Amino acid sequence: MEIQLALDRLSIEEAIRITREAEKSIDLIEVGTSLIKEFGMEAVSKIREAFPNKTIVGDIKTIDNAIYEFDLCFNAGGDIATVMGVSSIHTIDACLNTAAKHGKKAMIDLLNTTIEQRVSLFQYKEAIFCEHISKDEQEMAGRNNMDKVSFVPSLEWAVAGGITIDSIENMIESESRPHIVIIGSAITKADHPGKIAAAFKEIIG
């Protein structure tokens, strides 16, 4: 399992500082949706410049205008860009094709997708699939439990949504594990982000 550090609701400078503290213990850096909405693709390019050897994920949450948005993200230095699974199949196709053109990858966010939509999406075996508990669901419904999530073995999986030291220990004990765990505020809001990131890394091995 790899750790993807999600950077949200921060300034670019804060995001870089926190990532430097956690850098040794993380594998992917996610330039979060809030950073991109507030600072544009400059957020992606500055994170890329600061961390040239890390995999950079642009959480752009594309739902339309796929080629334009994916080009923007990859040209700014992103390695992976995200698309919402509830998008039209034309948008999903365009995202996967654009990623392939750049030699990059697409992550399909399964937030609010139906069973039928998921079955349709699982044809995209070159994509990364993300099981995602939304921020609003975490805060308003108090849900951040991934214990009952199961993964299609032939696909690459990420999980996101309120992951803590306790919940990641439950994932380790599960027979079905994701390839990537996306961790945000548990690290970014910690007094010592580097120590918490190291603790996560020690748990997943």
Helical pair 66-75 and 89-102, crossing angle rounded to 10 deg? 30
Give the residue numbers spanning the domain of 129.
2-204
Across 10-19, average pLDDT? 98
Per the model's pLDDT, the better-predicted residue between 170 and 92 turns out to be 92
As to burial, measured by CB atoms within 10 angstroms (0-12 exposed, 13-18 middle, 19+ buried), residue 103 is: exposed
CATH number at residue 199: 3.20.20.70
Residue 133 pLDDT level (bands cut at 50, 70, 90): confident
As to burial, measured by CB atoms within 10 angstroms (0-12 exposed, 13-18 middle, 19+ buried), residue 49 is: exposed
- Looking at the predicted structure, is the pLDDT value of residue 199 above 80? yes
Distance between CA 98 and CA 162 in Å, rounded? 30
Predicted pLDDT at 3: 97
Predicted pLDDT at 147: 53
Across 51-77, average pLDDT? 98
Give the closest residue to 134 by CA, choosing from 143, 126, 125: 143
Predicted pLDDT at 141: 45
- pLDDT per position as a tens digit, 117-130: 999 999 999 999 99
Q: Considering its fold, how many domains does the chain have in total?
A: 1
Residue 14 pLDDT level (bands cut at 50, 70, 90): very high
